[in-house]
Structure 1
Amino acid sequence: MEIGVTTFVETTPDVETGQVTSHAERIREVVEEIVLADQVGLDVFGVGEHHRVDYACSSPAVLLAAAAAQTKNIKLTSAVSVLSSDDPVRLYQQFATVDAISNGRAEIMAGRGSFIESFPLFGYDLQDYDALFDEKLDLLLKINEAEKVTWNGTYRPSIHNLGVYPRSDQDRLPIWIASGGTPQSAVRAGVLGLPLVLAIIGGSPLQFARVVELYKQAAKQAGHDVSKLKVASHSHGFVGETTAEAKDKFFPSTAQAVNVLGRERGWGPYTRNTFESASTLEGALYVGDAETVAEKIIFLRKNVGVERFMLHVPVGSMPHQEVMRAIELLGTEVAPLVKTEIAQWEAQNM
């Protein structure tokens, strides 16, 4: 069982003061957060790609490269790379570079993107949303498999027997399919034999058990060894000294950020009642003291089958030192509880 962190490098206004951290400062803070996550023994850190004012990182590979030089063990991944509006050649090259700096710790999470600002920015038509992803994923996988590539494209120029360099330090870069939980995405990942990461950010995580089942069925039918495939998730959350403290610290910025997106996307208001409901054992919000958060991760592992859990913190903007403390608690208290319990549970069920 792997435990880690994801961030979108948020730069929303501080709920109390209204002040906004600059993009540059927030990027530097995230590098510090990755270094701390490595020091406290967490397994993975993921950085999301966005192209809007309230998120500071448009290039996860560059930020992760800065952290790669200062860390030793933690895996470094995009969370996600918006592959549909990116170039697969450049994406591979950038993460192969991170892989070199980190001595083989780079990964890519490839997604279609729930945020669509990159499409007009780079000249892509949203009507081609699905077709762009399918075509570019095909090219990315071919690059990952072989040094020389011959490939024909519709939305991207074709390549005839050209090399892509540098090559990754690993035999192949781990490439995950990132999904919001649609059956189609799960089946695609299974057919391709790629690891699957689920964004479990609403409703009941138990609903995703069926998605994982579909993924494994598709993989098996395609002839892949299901035992070698991994399922991961990321969910919003925060670890505090006590559950009451964690909730009181995490709710204000979460509500502010979710309500901003909600107004853009036509969601209902995010209230304290919504927050409290999602904080229950079967909810999708992982907020509380170490024991509470560990209990929820263990519940997720046993009932959904997730083998890697990533806590998305913060949602909105929180004081840097509070985020650092949450990461410290996740690594030093939550992760040991989860790994001990899961190891015992797996031994009993072998």
Structure 2
Amino acid sequence: MELGIGMFGDLSFDPQTGEHRSAGLKLHEILEQIKLADQVGLDVFGLGEHHRPDYAVSSPEIVLAAAAGITKNIKLTSTVTVLSSAEPVKVYQDFSTIDLISGGRAEIGVGRGSFIESFPLFGYDLKDYNQLFEEKLDLLLNINNNQVVNWSGKLRAPLKNQGVFPRAVNEGKLPIWIAVGGTPESVLRAAKLGLPLIVAIIGGMPKQFQPLIEFYKQEYVKNGHDITKMQIGIHSHTFLSEQPVTVEGYYANYAAQMNRIGASRGWAPYTKAQYDAGRSKEGALFIGSAAEVTDKILYMHELFGITRFIGHMDVGDPSHQDMMKAIELFGTKVAPEVRKAVKQAV
């Protein structure tokens, strides 16, 4: 099972100054954190795309390209690229470039996007939300499989005998994961296409997602895909510390960010009771000591048979020092124990 870290580049807000923390400083910290994740032997690092003042990363591919030059082994992916409001030709070109710089370590995670700021920003109509994703995914897959592209759709100009360059390392092909938030239609699409699935589980009880993941497995096989190549991941909020006071103190960061998002979505204020419930065995938060997080990831493996776990580790913008320690613990304490247990279970 692959283990990795995901980030959105959260920027904390100072109510006294009325400003978010420096995006420039945050980006430099992220690069140091990616470098450390590589050094401690983690398998994958992902960055998500947002277009809001409380996130530093609007272009994951730019940051990942910078990371490609300072890392050696770790896979570099988007978590996710909002494909519905992106240009598939440019998406492929950006990630194939990362692939070439990194020596074949680039991947793409694509989704419809739970944040919708990119649609008006890039001139797209939300009424086309579903059709945009379907068409653009079809085009991206066409580009991924063919150096010379012939394609037509309804919402974008057709391509006729157009070459798309540069080509990725592995015969021009990049791994493309479908990221979902729990919609059966999205899961079915991934299964029919035989694409790897990653599920964002950030609330409630992970066990509630079991029928959805079983549905993916059944449809994947039903559509004639090789079960030995099936990949399933989950992406969940994660933070590690061996100091109980740090874990308790992280609630303030976490609640602040959840409330900033919730303010635009009509959510009730986030409570300490929710935080504590999320940290329990049945909850969706992978927040605690290395032993607690290890046990919970192994529980996810037991529930779902996952092949990848990505811990989303910068919710609420914890300090750089705390982030570096959390990454170190994840790579040196959690990852070896998880790999050992999974290997023994095979």
Consecutive aligned runs of 4 or more in structure 1 exceeding 3 Å deviation? 14-20
Structure 2 equivalent of residue 107 of structure 1: 107
Alignment of 1:123-162 (within 5 A): 123-162=123-162
Q: CA RMSD in A?
A: 1.3
Unaligned runs of 5+ in 2: none
Corresponding position: 1:264 with 2:264: yes
Quote how far apart the aligned CAs of 1:82 are.
0.3
Q: Which residue of 2 aligns with 1:38?
A: 38
TM-score by length of 1: 0.96
- What SS class does the counterpart of residue 106 from structure 1 fall into? coil
- 2:37 counterpart letter in structure 1: A
Residue pair 2:89, 2:140 contacting (<8 A) in 1 also: yes
Q: How far does residue 16 in structure 1 lie from its aligned partner after superposition?
A: 9.8
CA contact 2:38–2:72 (8 Å) conserved in 1: yes
Contact 1:13 1:317 in 2 (8 A): no
CA pair 17-317 structure 1, distance change in 2 beyond 3 A: farther
Q: What's the counterpart of residue 208 of structure 1?
A: 209
Partner of residue 303, structure 2: 303
How does 1:1-350 map onto structure 2 within 5 Å?
1-13=1-13, 20-171=20-171, 172-242=173-243, 244-346=244-346
Structure 1 residue 15: Cα displacement: 8.3
* AA matched with 1:211: L
1:126-169 CA distances to partner (integer Å, 9 max, x unpaired)? Answer: 01000000000000000000100000021111000110000001
Query: 1:200 corresponds to which letter in structure 2?
Result: I
Q: Secondary structure at the match of 1:269?
A: coil
Mapped partners of 2:250, 2:16: distance in 1:
13
Structure 1: which 5+ runs fail to align? Answer: none
Question: What secondary structure, in the 3-state scheme, does the structure 2 residue paired with 1:310 have?
Answer: strand
Give 1:199 deviation, angstroms: 0.2
**Alpha-carbon displacement from aligned partner over 1:25-71 (angstroms, at most 9, x marks no partner):** 11111111100000000000000001111111111111000000000
Percentage identity across aligned positions?
A: 52
How many residue pairs match? The answer is 345
Preserved CA contact (<8 Å) 2:20 2:54: no
Contact 2:20 2:53 in 1 (8 A): no
Letter matched to residue 290 of structure 2: A
Q: Distance in 2 between matches of 1:222 and 1:125?
A: 32
Q: CA deviation at 1:237?
A: 1.5
> CA deviation digits over 1:187-215, x for unaligned, max 9?
11000000000000011111112111111
Question: Match of 1:58, SS?
Answer: coil
Displacement after TM superposition at 1:14 (Å): 5.4
For residues 205 and 17 of structure 2, the distance between their equivalents in structure 1, rounded to whole angstroms, comes to 34
AA at the equivalent of 1:230 = Q
